[in-house]
Each structure stands twice: as C-alpha cells, then as structure tokens.
C-alpha cells in the first residue's frame, strides 16, 4: 500500500456500511465498480435525517454528503483492498431530501465531490447529477451513488 493510500485509509470508517435491503454494496462489471446509494451513516450507525431547506441547513447537509463520500470510499476499499486500485471516479448521482422550494442541491452534493477531489486528486474528478427528492429512505438528508473505474482484477 502506498503512503497516500495509507493516509486516505486512516480517514475512512473501519468498514463500509452494510446494505440495508436485498442488494449488495457494490457490483463490479469489467473495470467499472458500481457502488449502491449510500446515506449519511456515522460509524456507530447513527443516521443524519431531516429536510434540507427546513430543519437542515445547506452547511449541515454538505457535511452529510462529505460523510457519504467517506462511506462510499470505505465500500470501495473493502471491495478492492486498497483505494490505490481506483483509476478514477467516473460518475456521482446525488439526491437531496429537500423542501419543494429548495434550489441549492449542487452545493450540498459538493460535500462529496470536494472530498473526492481532496482525497484522490485528479482521479477524483467526475461527472455528476444532483437532484432534489420529496423523501429518502429513513428520512436521511442525502443519498449518493457512484461509479468508479478500477484496475483490472
């Protein structure tokens, strides 16, 4: 493991969150790793919940999206053994549990995008969608899924 990978690994939760339904945390197809949508789950299992634009601020939700990014990377690390095997982040799809008049979805999902940029450098640059939804499972504030290009198995 490279020094960079060890530094990143130290910032991640010990394990990625386990799936909460009948699905897997990630699925590999060739050199692409599709990571299932993740929410803002603390390592102790506590969820961040609420409506962004009502009881949750943009700044708080940005932090929640950053936490989701850490969880996504932990799942990738668990699957690949090391984040050094990530060639690049290809795509993020972020959903914000927001009030109908909320319009700052990109600012919220930037929490994850900024984290990937900080931790992965140029490999963290990605295409992205950020949308608002009327609800998310367990009333979580954000959910983000990701596609990674990884080294061949």
| Spans of all domains in the chain | 3-13+38-146
Give the model's pLDDT for residue 15. Answer: 84
The contacts of residue 107 (CB under 8 Å, 6+ apart) are: 58, 62
Range list of β-strands (E), the chain: 26-29, 32-38, 86-97, 127-133, 142-150
Secondary structure of 45-62 as H, E, C letters? CCECECCECCCECHHHHH
Summarised one tens digit per residue, pLDDT across range 74-115 is 999 999 999 999 999 999 999 999 999 999 999 999 999 999
Give the model's pLDDT for residue 5. Answer: 57
The percent of residues above 70 in pLDDT, for the chain, comes to 95
The fold adopted by the segment(s) 3-13+38-146 is 60s Ribosomal Protein L30; Chain: A; (3.30.1330)
Q: Is the dihedral of CA 74, 1, 128, 147 positive or negative?
A: negative
Residue range 30-58: mean pLDDT, rounded: 97
Residue range 48-57: mean pLDDT, rounded: 98
The contacts of residue 41 (CB under 8 Å, 6+ apart) are: 17, 47, 67, 71
Summarised one tens digit per residue, pLDDT across range 9-30 is 778 888 888 888 889 999 999 9
Summarised one tens digit per residue, pLDDT across range 139-153 is 999 999 999 999 998
Q: Is the dihedral of CA 12, 16, 135, 48 positive or negative?
A: negative
pTM summary value? 0.94
């Amino acid at each position: 493991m490279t020094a960079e990978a060890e530094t990143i690994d130290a910032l991640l939760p010990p394990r990625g969150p386990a799936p909460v339904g009948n699905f897997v945390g990630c699925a590999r197809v060739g050199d692409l790793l599709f990571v299932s949508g993740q929410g803002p789950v603390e390592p102790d299992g506590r969820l961040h919940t609420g409506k962004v634009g009502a009881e949750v601020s943009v700044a708080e939700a940005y932090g929640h999206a950053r936490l989701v990014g850490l969880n996504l990377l932990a799942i990738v690390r668990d699957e690949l053994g090391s984040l050094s095997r990530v060639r690049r982040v290809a795509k993020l799809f972020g959903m914000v549990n927001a009030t109908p008049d909320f319009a700052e979805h990109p600012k919220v999902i930037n929490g994850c995008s900024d984290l990937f940029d900080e931790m992965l450098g140029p490999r963290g640059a990605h295409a992205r969608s950020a949308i608002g939804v009327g609800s998310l499972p367990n009333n979580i504030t954000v959910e983000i899924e990701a596609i990674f290009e990884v080294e061949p198995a």
